[in-house]
Structure 1
């Protein structure tokens, strides 16, 4: 290496070190200027992480308690302690437990769980032979037994002598439905009316 190359090499090295020190000084100035803001941000992040961890842990513990309580309810619907635990930890499971209890005792109840709510309304409408309630249930897009609700509505209409209404109701049930065989039988009966 020539002397000139050595000098250039040393200049480049010094220049690199100078840039490094310069950036270090900038970072140090920024830190001193915003020290409290940085500490506050780091503290908030740490507290948020700890808070989320605690919340997830408590949610998991509530889920475990609710599952244990629901298993107790499945074995004994009259278990008041398990019902209270469900009411405190999981409202949906609590409503399902109330539905199971009402089902076992033969009572009717309103439940606030999507499919059980519709099923409960359907059972109440059938029990009361109420056409308006059956109509409301059959119009619910989330109801799984929509075609059976329509069929039961037509059956009640036929019993009440409203044969034309029953025929119109039966036309609402698609041919692909599992209830269509029942529809054919009732339509055959309605031909004579």
Structure 2
């Protein structure tokens, strides 16, 4: 019996080796058939990775340059070179800086210029609110939320509900409004 078991074990071992060898041959055939495609895929992946790394490095350098220009402007607002660098490297930060200067000096003409330029929606809303004491965006919704909250604190839930109804349904503040209405401001 032991001899028969040994023969079966040897046959099974050979079968396993055959399967392994067969798999290797199939893999080699697959590689030969699709060698150029695999090489192209690897080359494209390497080029894309390098492109991403280069773009990331460029963006980081641009961010550092604009931050340095902003820091210089905060220390010396008359530095025209830093102002031009900031304008070129980060237009959004440049407009924010202009708005900050206009708000600090309460310069109505400069605020109108910031409002007319292509700036961030929230910055435009803030400048509009500063100029006209009214707003159509998030800031007006926030002001209505605050007024409604204070009305709830005063024990006037109906008046608060009317104030909350002025907040647009698409506003991100709607979840807060629902919670305040539910808990009555507590």
| Structure 1, gaps ≥5 residues long | 127-133, 148-172, 181-193
Q: What CA distance in whole angstroms lies between the structure 1 residues aligned with 2:52 and 2:124?
A: 33
Q: Answer yes or no: is 1:176 the counterpart of 2:150.
A: yes
- Conserved in 2, the CA contact under 8 Å of 1:87 and 1:94? yes
Matches within 5 A, 1:22-61: 22-61=22-61
Q: Answer yes or no: is 1:76 the counterpart of 2:64.
A: no
| Structure 2, gaps ≥5 residues long | 155-186
Change (3 A) 1:60 1:143: farther
Change (3 A) 1:40 1:175: closer
1:99 corresponds in structure 2 to 99
Task: Give the 4+ runs in structure 1 shifted more than 4 A.
Answer: none
Change (3 A) 1:24 1:97: same
- Conserved in 1, the CA contact under 8 Å of 2:129 and 2:139? no
**The residue matched to 1:78 in structure 2 has which SS?**
coil
Q: Residue by residue, what CA displacement relative to the aligned partner does 1:81-105 show, whole Å, maximum 9, x if unpaired? A: 2222222222211111221333455
Q: What CA distance in whole angstroms lies between the structure 2 residues aligned with 1:96 and 1:60?
A: 20
TM-score normalized with structure 1 length? 0.64
Q: Answer yes or no: is 1:140 the counterpart of 2:137.
A: yes
- Conserved in 1, the CA contact under 8 Å of 2:66 and 2:89? yes
Structure 1 residue 175: deviation in Å? Answer: 6.2
Structure 1 residue 144: deviation in Å? Answer: 7.4
- Conserved in 2, the CA contact under 8 Å of 1:115 and 1:144? no
Larger Rg: 1
Aligned residues: 143
